[in-house]
Amino acid sequence: MMTILILLALVTFCSTMIGGTVAVKYRKVLPYFFAFASGSLISIAFFDILPESLSIASSISLPVRTVLTVVVISYLLYSFLEKILLTHHYDENDEHEHIMGPIGASSLVIHSFLDGVAIGTAYAVNPSVGLIVAFAVIFHDFTDGINTVTLMLKNKQKLLRTKVFLFLDALAPVIGVVFTSAVNIGESNLALLLAFFVGEFLYIGASHLLPETHKHTYWKMMLFMSFGVALIYVLTSLIP
């Protein structure tokens, strides 16, 4: 069983790396990736992470209000962090590195780790369900690779550092799969951690990336943002 899981995790590694490489190679059209990333991050929060958090909370009788409170706290916390850590006015011509790049990319790495945990957990319960989850995660991680690179480059991070975060994001599901065989995170902690990601991804997508789409041709930005939403909607629909 572990061999199959590792193979699936390695495919997710390749999927993430391909998505990120595409974003790196076509940096000149980053505004389109900004639009795509804003739509996909917001959609990941609503179609993927929040339902999973609420489902876990329901199964262990954790109040929905508690989950939603963590979402709000997370959103406000990241807003507060950005204002505190940003020591200069930020604009697209500013060459200074912005701390929100590594912060957002780090959370995507942790989210990818949890994708690996999801694959391992689902496969242990039912191999057929595990394969379906893995299939969805493989395609989902392609967008994670794009989002990781987009967040880093959008925030003026060096290309080398961007590639390091891309590699970590790609490696995270592999570690997550191995992790499931050794450690139990605990359903309560997992539900609250996922809720925390919801708040962060909503903030990054809606408050950090979405405004970038207002600086370019409206219908083109809306098209790519809608594509991000539609893609995540379809991919998350694959998971029963």
Residue-wise pLDDT for 53-104, tens only, equals: 899 899 999 999 999 999 999 899 878 766 665 433 344 444 555 667 788 7
Q: Residue 124: exposed, middle, or buried by beta-carbon count in 10 A (0-12, 13-18, 19+)?
A: middle
What pLDDT score does 166 carry?
92
Residue 172 in any domain: the answer is yes
Residue 122, pLDDT > 60, answer: yes
Cα–Cα distance for residue pair 133/135, rounded to 1 Å: 5
Question: 37, 210 in Cβ contact below 8 A?
Answer: no
Residue 126 in any domain: the answer is yes
Contact residues for 206 (Cβ-Cβ < 8 A; gap 6+): 38, 42
Residue 78 in any domain: the answer is yes
Contact residues for 207 (Cβ-Cβ < 8 A; gap 6+): 79
Tokens, residue 186:
């605990």
Residue-wise pLDDT for 45-54, tens only, equals: 898 888 888 9
Number of independent structural domains in the chain: 1
Residue-wise pLDDT for 199-224, tens only, equals: 877 887 887 677 767 777 778 888 98
Residue 134 in any domain: the answer is yes
Cα–Cα distance for residue pair 4/230, rounded to 1 Å: 30
DSSP-assigned letter for residue 47: I
Q: Which of 59-63, 124-128, 230-234 has the lowest mean pLDDT?
A: 124-128
Q: Which domain holds residue 156?
A: 2-21+44-237
Residue 118, pLDDT > 50, answer: yes
- Overall average pLDDT of the 5-18 stretch: 87
What pLDDT score does 232 carry?
83
To which residue do tokens 């009788």 refer? 61
Residue 148 in any domain: the answer is yes
Residue 29 in any domain: the answer is no
Residue-wise pLDDT for 140-172, tens only, equals: 677 778 878 887 887 777 888 889 999 999 999
Cα–Cα distance for residue pair 60/159, rounded to 1 Å: 43
Residue 38 in any domain: the answer is no
| Average pLDDT value for the chain | 79
Tokens, residue 207:
């408050």
Residue 35 in any domain: the answer is no
Tokens, residue 16:
């993430």
